[in-house]
Amino acid sequence: MPSFHNGDVEIAFLDEGAGDPIVLIHGFASNKDVNWVGTAWVSTLVRAGRRVIALDNRGHGKSSKLTDPAAYHSDKMAGDVAALLDHLKIERADVMGYSMGARITAFLAVERPERVRAAILGGLGVRLVEGVGLPQSIAEALEAPSLDDVTDPMGRVFRAFAQQTKSDLKALAACIRGSRQVLTREQVGAIGIPVLVAVGTKDDVAGSPEALAAMIPGAEALPIPDRDHMLAVGDKTYKAGVLDFLSRRG
């Protein structure tokens, strides 16, 4: 598995296919393989003629595990994506993130708009601006002695998911404490690239995709029918909507 260093942080990534590049940024407690390979996103995009690049965010997968919450500011995580593009000598790419990965995508689009050709925000709607999405109580669930000690329902879901993905629980607790930044309405209103906001209709984490899309000039909302936050990511409606969006994004 290839990797590179952004400063002291080692970032693992995959790079498959040929054609226009698209970078995939996974969600909290996941990794590139669970979020994008196992859901057939990588194979779908490669078959569609794309060069697909997916990274393990810092604290996740095979990338460096950091335990200081300050190391996970959304600016720094967006900086890892920009550094990956630099490493691969890619000037500009389409970028798709899911949940926390969508937040990172949005920060990249706001702070480094010259690097992003089009942005797909999956699993994150108006809570990019209003609220944060995942509650900080998840950190306490990750630090509990065992899953049996976790009583908070959402905390249990993410503790079980983190154990399933064999994640570093201390690094994830630091990540969720340190990556809780929001953007202002003015910041998202200044995004000048094509944007698709895709959220499951049963997602109780992301907030409304329509409300966020309405703040971004020309943005489109894609409701993913009957899917919650965990199940929407691999949905066929999501994939079809993204492929259609990319074919039209100019």
pLDDT in tens, 80-111: 999 999 999 999 999 999 999 999 999 999 99
Contact 89, 205 (CB under 8 A): no
Stretches where the chain sits below pLDDT 70 are 250
d(CA 43, CA 41): 6
Q: Residue 163: count other Cβ atoms within 10 Å of its Cβ.
A: 14
Contact 31, 165 (CB under 8 A): yes
Rama region for 197: left / alpha / beta (φ>0; ψ in -120 to 50; rest): beta
Chain position carrying tokens 């900080």: 136
Collapse the DSSP code of 24 into the 3-class scheme (helix H, G, I; strand E, B; otherwise coil) and give the result. strand
Provide the pLDDT for residue 131.
81
Q: Residue 83: count other Cβ atoms within 10 Å of its Cβ.
A: 17
Provide the pLDDT for residue 136.
83
Chain position carrying tokens 């999956």: 122
Element (H, E) at 14: strand 9-16
Provide the pLDDT for residue 135.
83
Element (H, E) at 50: strand 50-55
Domain ranges of the chain: 3-130+181-248
Provide the pLDDT for residue 104.
98
Does pTM surpass 0.95? yes
CATH code given to domain 3-130+181-248? 3.40.50.1820
